[in-house]
């Protein structure tokens, strides 16, 4: 039997933890008292009717966790679509910003990697429309076996174009597993969304990642306007640091990629680690203020909120 290809991080950085590490984390977790008092706010006004009609303006609507509806160049895009009510045994902490039946028909799905909180098969099947799935290397086979015929793999630093919109797969530092036997048999990464004319703001969806030198390379390769960056699932840091960024590292990532606007994600939907949503936001805003960064460049979106980006923000 031929062995399956195993993918790696830049510089061969390993994110795999031992059973002993996992056991120590769970022992440590039992001694903590989680503060569940903070809930990510829901937008007072949802704009489902506008989103169904819009095919011109660039918009971003946060559904929750790493899931965004992005309208770009006449296309309706969804990133890492997850509407799951539970993740493992844990109930979802906040309702999705839009219900599935409030979505317009989806043209393209951007998947960052195969972890269950980023690739949820029932959510993929329920999406309206007949979307093309853009995925990292090694992931198309599983999705086609699951009944998704329109799947295209994109390796790191390569690009595909759909109706004039370019989608570039860029590196991340992470790992993946869906069964005990398929560890790292598919890759992981982020996506740059851009158009050939440059009229629309470029969007960087980072997926899931630890902090690594690849962010500077991404900033050198692209002019990025809006960066969607993860800030959660970092505690305990001794266990999570190679796979997930702290809020402070996310701020440094924003600076590394040279973006003009920072929208945080990957917090407040599921309890994946020991940090709490309120703590992640407090640490993020404290670091932003410590560095005296432009307050208007940090966009703390509400669930279901739609942000309009009518023209290029303009890279710094």
- pLDDT (0 to 100) of residue 30: 75
**Does 165 reside within a domain?**
yes
How many domains does the structure of the chain reveal? 1
Q: Which of 12-21, 155-164, 253-262 has the lowest mean pLDDT?
A: 12-21
- pLDDT (0 to 100) of residue 314: 41
pTM of the model: 0.94
**Does 304 reside within a domain?**
yes
Q: Which tens digits make up the pLDDT trace of 84-139? A: 999 988 899 999 999 999 999 999 999 999 999 999 999 999 999 999 999 999 99
**Does 182 reside within a domain?**
yes
**Does 33 reside within a domain?**
no
Q: Which tens digits make up the pLDDT trace of 67-89? A: 999 999 999 999 999 999 999 88
Domain that holds residue 47: 41-308
Which DSSP string corresponds to the chain? -PPPP----GGG------HHHHHHHHHHHHT--------PPBPSS--HHHHHH-SSS-EEEEEETTEEEEEETTEEEEES----SEETTEEPSS--SS-GGGSPPP-EEE----STTT--HHHHHH-SS-PEEEE-TT-HHHHHHTT---EEE--TTEEEEETTEEEEEE-------SSTT-TTSS---EEEEEESSS-SPPEEE--S----THHHHHHHH---SEEEEE--S--SHHHHTTTS--HHHHHHHHHHHT-SEEEEES-SS---SS--HHHHHHHHHHHHHHTT--GGGB--PPBT-EEE--S-----
**Does 216 reside within a domain?**
yes
- Residue 250's CATH number: 3.60.15.10
């Amino acid at each position: 039997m031929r062995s399956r290809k195993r993918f790696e991080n830049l510089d061969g950085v390993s994110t795999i933890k031992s059973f002993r590490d996992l056991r120590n984390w769970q022992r440590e977790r039992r001694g903590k008292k989680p503060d569940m008092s903070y809930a990510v706010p829901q937008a007072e006004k949802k704009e489902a009717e506008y989103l169904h009609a819009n095919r011109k303006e660039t918009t971003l609507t946060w559904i929750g966790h790493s899931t965004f509806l992005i309208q770009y160049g006449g296309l309706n895009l969804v990133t890492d679509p997850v509407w799951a009510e539970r993740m493992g045994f844990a109930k979802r902490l906040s309702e999705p910003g839009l219900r599935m039946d409030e979505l317009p028909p989806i043209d393209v799905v951007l998947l960052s990697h195969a972890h269950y909180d980023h690739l949820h098969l029932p959510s993929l099947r329920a999406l309206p429309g007949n979307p093309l799935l853009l995925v990292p290397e090694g992931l198309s086979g599983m999705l086609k076996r699951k009944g998704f015929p329109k799947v295209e793999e994109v390796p790191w630093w390569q690009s595909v174009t759909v109706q004039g919109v370019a989608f570039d797969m860029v590196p991340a530092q992470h790992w993946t597993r869906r069964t005990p036997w398929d560890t790292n048999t598919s890759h992981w990464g982020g996506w740059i969304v851009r158009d050939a004319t440059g009229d629309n703001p470029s969007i960087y969806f980072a997926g899931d990642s630890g902090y690594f030198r690849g962010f500077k390379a991404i900033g050198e390769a692209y002019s990025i306007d809006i960066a969607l960056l993860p800030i959660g699932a970092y505690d305990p840091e001794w266990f999570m640091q190679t796979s997930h960024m702290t809020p402070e590292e996310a701020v440094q990532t924003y600076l590394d990629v040279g973006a003009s606007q920072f929208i945080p994600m990957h917090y407040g939907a599921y309890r994946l680690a020991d940090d709490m949503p309120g703590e992640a936001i407090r640490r993020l805003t404290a670091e932003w203020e410590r560095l005296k960064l432009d307050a208007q460049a940090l966009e703390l979106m509400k669930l279901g909120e739609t942000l309009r980006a009518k023209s290029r923000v303009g890279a710094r």
